[in-house]
Structure 1
Amino acid sequence: MRVWLKKIRKNAKLSTYKVAEMAGISQSYYASIETGNRGKPLNADVAKKIAEALHFDWTRFYEDEKEAG
C-alpha cells in the first residue's frame, strides 16, 4: 500500500477519480496503484503523469516503501 500517495492526494483535496482523470487513466487503475493491488510494476509514463497531477517527483514510486513512508 502506498500510504504516502494517499496522503499526497488527500492533502491536495482530490478524489481518486480526479487524479485518474488528470493523469489520463481509469479510476480503478489509479485506485489499484494507491492500494498496492497492482500485480505489475508501474509503468514510468503513468508514474510521471500521476506525479505531475499531484506535484511530486515521479521517482518516488520506485523508492523503498519504508523510505517513502
Structure 2
Amino acid sequence: MNAEAIGKRLIALRGEKLVKDVAKALGISASALSMYEKGQRIPRDEIKIRLARYYDRTVDSIFFTD
C-alpha cells in the first residue's frame, strides 16, 4: 500500500470540494482527511469503506491499485 499514491488519488477524487465538507460527510475530522491525502496516515478499514462509498468507487480502486 503506497500512502503517497493513495493520497494523490484521494485529492483527485475530492476535486473542488473542500476538505472540511468531505470530512463532515464522512464523519471524520478535516485533519484526518488531510493526513490521508498527504500520505501521512492510512485510514482504518471502516474509513476506507466510507471513502469508497462517498466517492462511488471500490476500496480496491482507491487503496490497492498502484
Q: TM-score, normalised by structure 1?
A: 0.73
The letter of the residue matching 1:9 is R
Q: Which runs of 5+ in 1 are unaligned?
A: none
Q: Indicate conservation of the 8 Å contact 2:9/2:62, yes or no.
A: no
1:9 to 14, 20, 25: 14
- Number of equivalences: 61
What RMSD, in angstroms, separates the aligned Cα atoms of the two structures?
Answer: 1.6
Question: Match of 1:62?
Answer: 63
Question: Match of 2:28?
Answer: 25
Q: Which runs of 5+ in 2 are unaligned?
A: none
Aligned-pair distance for 1:19? Answer: 1.1
CA distance in 2, matches of 1:54, 1:61: 10
Q: Indicate conservation of the 8 Å contact 2:10/2:37, yes or no.
A: yes
Q: TM-score, normalised by structure 2?
A: 0.76
The letter of the residue matching 1:14 is K
